[in-house]
Structure 1
């Protein structure tokens, strides 16, 4: 394992609140992974930034009577607060509109331009006579020329994931009128020139998902198109060339460069050489499947275009979209749950547990279902994990005044239980390193289930031979669980840690510590009380009724 890592997530667009769909695929898996790496002694930093530029922000800020800068500052602060409430523990959260990012983006562009990867071209662009403006991609909708899906943006088909050369049957998404075509001059990035080097990178990158690599390689084989990287709007990173006044970079040109500029700002401010660290670390970019094209083609090509001055990603963990009650999330139809709203109902750890449980390391879509949430929390988190911890610690308090007893020689069941603890860290590590977080959490629940059965089999309440061994091993299993759970359920794991009567913060524990029998005889436990509270079905019905009307 590399002892340095930089972790990023797709940047949240500073144009509205964070909802469950945002955190499921990118922020939560990145946070769990970062916590795991840190517990393994990796100098890991999780950095992110709000994505501040683009026409939607310009238009929405005008509607609210704010400057774009004021508008994005509001959402940057609000998003960070919501992430923090969900225990997404960024080491640094910045913004694409920072002076550092603007300067960095302009510098990368100049290098690409000097190396011959940029050219200027007069193009015909959609223009809305009704709104009297050139229409950026997000303001033209139509039919995808590749898969024929309707109601798609002209810069990304959400159905097939490709970037259309030109959308069919275009309409202005502001007013619905059919736009005209007018001449304007834009700058282009020679993406076509990178076909061979991108194919080589994909062939040689061992840690990228095979299924994603395969269809990106097919895109390359079918022919890449050069990429229009500028727009005619006043809100964005200005193009630093004479004669380019009034032009800014397209958001997808500048926003993923903020991964690098944000990391450099954070590391350099800490007195660490940011560039050197970046190039010697494992680089993780956590994304959703809708932005594969950008992260597997645009992002690496731009880094290749500046001679890999900043190394390409080692991992791009890509997951599917979250649906809600089996329907597509839609803010406009009120078919969504805001993160802030959810955390007013239930603790962050309930949502973290559920979303990791249902989220495989694949591009398969996942579904948030209120009834399934209730079942998993009540039967798995509470009925299995919470029940075991409460039984083990509660019985020790009641029968032994909270003092762990001296052990006798182990019988076969005791030895099996001891071995489970000793193998626990290794059993989980491979799954965590391979980003199978759902499987790792399932393994933790299987460990808890084993010890529930062990406790039941030993019947310590009968005070027969072997009672002390059962209590000793069960308390140590609870300790192992608290450490294993920390990346997933940081608040609950700390509560277990404190009930065990252990000092300090659990995040100071190393991952391998869970496989030690770290609680000795005569250790005194803290106060035991239930870690979790049951989810009531009557409350769930209220939450369901707040959705909609659905389609």
Structure 2
């Protein structure tokens, strides 16, 4: 396993707030894995950027009387603030409009062109006579030619995940009128040049989810379409040697993974390109952008002679439903991240999401009642209960000093072995991106210690109380480290109450298997870490959403 790991999250479009749907499939699983990797002692970096270009942004900026640069700068700042409030620990949150990315995109284009993978062709393109403009993909809606789904964008069917070669029954998304067709000269990327190499990479890469790569292989077998990478657009990465043309967003945005990472490492006085190629690479995505990440992205890297290595993993997850309905900003059926963490502690959202997010393309459901039940009955009644009992009992009965252990009995030995086994088991699951199962195993450890504490009765079994509390305080330390990737804010509170040096974020994962809190250690001030979610709070949130 390489000592360094690069984690990327799909880029949020810079035209609106981050909502709960964004968090579940991409940002939280990526952050949990990055935090775990850091605790394991790997040099791990989590990078992302706002996706700044495209017609929707240009139009929204015009409506608000802003320059597009000002508009995307606002959302870049806002998104970073919201991610930070949730504890998403980006090492660099950059932007696709950065000078570094613009230069890199143009460099990749020129190299692809030199290598014979780019050609020019006149195309007949949709043009809205009413709005007097060529219509890029997101401004043409119609019926998918593959599955027949209505009201789909011309560059992506959200129902079947395919990229239509030509949308049926097209309409202008701005005015709703049928567009006409006009001729325009475009650049195309010869995606079909890479059919054999893409298939070979997919077959040989055992790290990719089998169900995802199998249907991508089916797409290759059916024949790949050449990819139009040009847009008649003023707001985008300019295409060298042209006027009024920019690259299609999906040509430039995932190149920002590389340009952002390279900037981060270069500024440390190291070789960013070498670091990329020497590292293990993870691209975290939702299932709606499989086509782009399993075909376009690797093909482009192949086309520049694998100057930058292909990803080792592409963790792909399903969408989040809200109260069993598809999230939709246009129907106002969503919950903004900022709104949510103003109502509840950010770790509550992290814990709940981590517990329901499977490593699959299955869709998930956020349910307010399920959220409250999971927090109150698992996080608080299990983890919070054990940690508070162990530390508060030590404070009250031993003046906050950890007592010395006597002779260990079978229950003590079993409890200590449970810690060691759990550290190994959770590590295996997090290494395999099984986030929900890893959290479940940690909860089993906490459950075991609640039972251990109850069985050992330190309040009445005075002779054994010292041993029980010594083991329990050490278990609380282990839980703080194991849970740090999931609920980092709360684990820092546990660390402070344990009065241990440094931060929980800087600990060694392997040390969680050891009893490191010595007898005689003085605990800090102990108080409950979590607060219960009241029924009225849930009812208030449901009312805001319009749920009866």
Aligned partners of 1:236 and 1:249 also within 8 Å = yes
| 1:449 aligned residue | 447
Q: Residues 424 and 514 of structure 1 are in contact (CA less than 8 Å); yes or no, is this contact kept in structure 2?
A: no
Distance (whole Å) between structure 2 residues aligned to residue 342 and residue 543 of structure 1: 9
- Three-state SS of the structure 2 residue aligned to 1:124 is strand
For these two proteins, the number of residue pairs brought into alignment is 548
The corresponding residue for 2:89 is 89
Please give the alpha-carbon distance, in whole angstroms, between the structure 2 residues aligned to 1:170 and 1:225: 20
Look up the match of 1:60.
Answer: 60
Match of 2:341 in 1: 343
Partner of 1:170, secondary structure, is: strand
Task: Measure, in 1, the Cα distance between the counterparts of 2:193 and 2:182.
Answer: 28
Q: Verify: 1:315 aligned to 2:313, yes or no.
A: yes
Q: Say if 1:334 and 1:549, in contact at 8 Å, map to a contact too.
A: no
Identify which of 467, 491, 498 aligns with 1:469. 467
Deviations 1:130-176 (Å, cap 9, x if unpaired)? 11111101011111110111111000000000000111111111011
Measure how far apart 1:56 and its partner are.
Answer: 0.3
Match of 1:372 in 2: 370
Matches within 5 A, 1:103-122: 103-122=103-122
Matched, 1:143 2:126: no
The 2-side partners of 1:276 and 1:144 are apart by 42
Q: 2:394 aligns to what?
A: 396
Classify the secondary structure of the residue corresponding to 2:459. Answer: helix
Runs of 4+ in 1 over 3 A off after TM superposition: none
Partner SS state of residue 545, structure 2:
coil
Kindly indicate whether the alpha-carbon contact (under 8 Å) linking 1:189 and 1:226 is maintained by their aligned counterparts in 2.
yes
What TM-score comes out, normalization by structure 1 length?
A: 0.98
Return 455-464 or 131-140, whichever deviates more: 455-464
Post-superposition offset of 1:409: 1.1
* 3-state SS, counterpart of residue 18 of structure 1: coil
Which residue of the partner structure matches residue 508 of structure 1? 506
- How far off its partner does 1:465 sit? 3.5
Deviation at 1:422, TM superposition (A): 2.3
User: For 1:90, what is the secondary structure of its paired residue?
Assistant: coil
- Counterpart of 1:534 in structure 2 is 532
Query: Can you list the C-alpha shifts for 1:395-440, whole angstroms capped at 9, x where unaligned?
Result: 1111111111122211111110011122232111110100001111
> How do 1:222-371 residues align onto structure 2 when only pairs under 5 Å count?
222-241=222-241, 244-371=242-369
SS at 2:145 equivalent: coil
2:218 paired residue number? 218
The answer to whether 1:172 aligns with 2:184 is: no
Contact 1:360 1:437 in 2 (8 A): yes
* CA drift at 1:534: 0.3
Distance 1:418 1:143 in 2: 60
Is 1:154 aligned to 2:154, yes or no? yes
Deviation at 1:466, TM superposition (A): 2.0
Q: Which residue of 1 aligns with 2:34?
A: 34
Query: 2:422 touches 2:441 (CA, 8 Å); kept in 1?
Result: no
Q: Counterpart of 2:110 in 1: which secondary structure?
A: helix
Residues of 2 paired with 1:538 and 1:265: CA distance? 48
Cα distance in structure 1, aligned partners of 2:125 and 2:101: 28
Instruction: Name the CA distance, whole Å, in 1 between partners of 2:337 and 2:194.
Output: 40
Is the CA contact (8 Å cut-off) linking 1:319 and 1:363 kept in structure 2? yes
Partner of 2:382: 384
Contact map agreement 1:284 1:315 (CA 8 A) in 2? yes
User: Which residues in structure 2 correspond to 1:480-499 (within 5 Å)?
Assistant: 480-499=478-497
Task: Please give the alpha-carbon distance, in whole angstroms, between the structure 1 residues aligned to 2:526 and 2:462.
Answer: 24
Work out the CA distance in 2 between the residues paired with 1:131 and 1:508.
56
Q: Does 1:430 align with 2:434?
A: no
Describe the superposition over 1:275-328 as per-residue Cα deviations: whole angstroms up to 9, x where unpaired.
000000001100000000000000000000000000000010011101110111
Displacement of 1:549 in angstroms is 8.0
Cα distance in 2 between the residues matched to 1:292 and 1:467: 55
Q: Name the CA distance, whole Å, in 2 between partners of 1:361 and 1:61.
A: 37
Unaligned runs of 5+ in 1: none
CA distance in 1, matches of 2:402, 2:103: 60
Instruction: Give me the whole-angstrom Cα distance separating, in 2, the residues matched to 1:296 and 1:160.
Output: 15
Structure 2 residue ranges without an equivalent (≥5): none
Pick which of 54-63 and 498-507 moved more.
498-507
Task: Write the distance in 2 (CA, Å) between the matches of 1:416 and 1:214.
Answer: 44
TM norm structure 2: 0.99
Shift of 1:41: 1.1
**2:52–2:97: 8 Å Cα contact kept in structure 1?**
yes
Shift of 1:2: 1.6
Give the whole-Å Cα distance in 2 for the aligned partners of 1:333 and 1:164.
25
Measure how far apart 1:464 and its partner are. 3.9
- C-alpha distance in 2, partners of 1:508/1:108? 38
Note the C-alpha offset of 1:539: 1.0
Select between 391-400 and 540-549 the one with higher mean Cα deviation: 540-549
Rounded to whole Å, the distance in 1 between the matches of 2:235 and 2:420 is: 57
**Counterpart Cα distance in 1 of 2:496 and 2:300:** 49
Distance 1:172 1:223 in 2: 29
Task: Give the structure 1 partner of residue 98 of structure 2.
Answer: 98
Post-superposition shift, 1:273?
0.4
**Counterparts of 1:49 and 1:429, CA distance in 2:** 29
Distance 2:65 2:124 in 1: 32
3-state SS in 1 of match to 2:66: coil
Judge conservation of contact 1:389–1:478 (CA < 8 Å) in 2.
Answer: yes
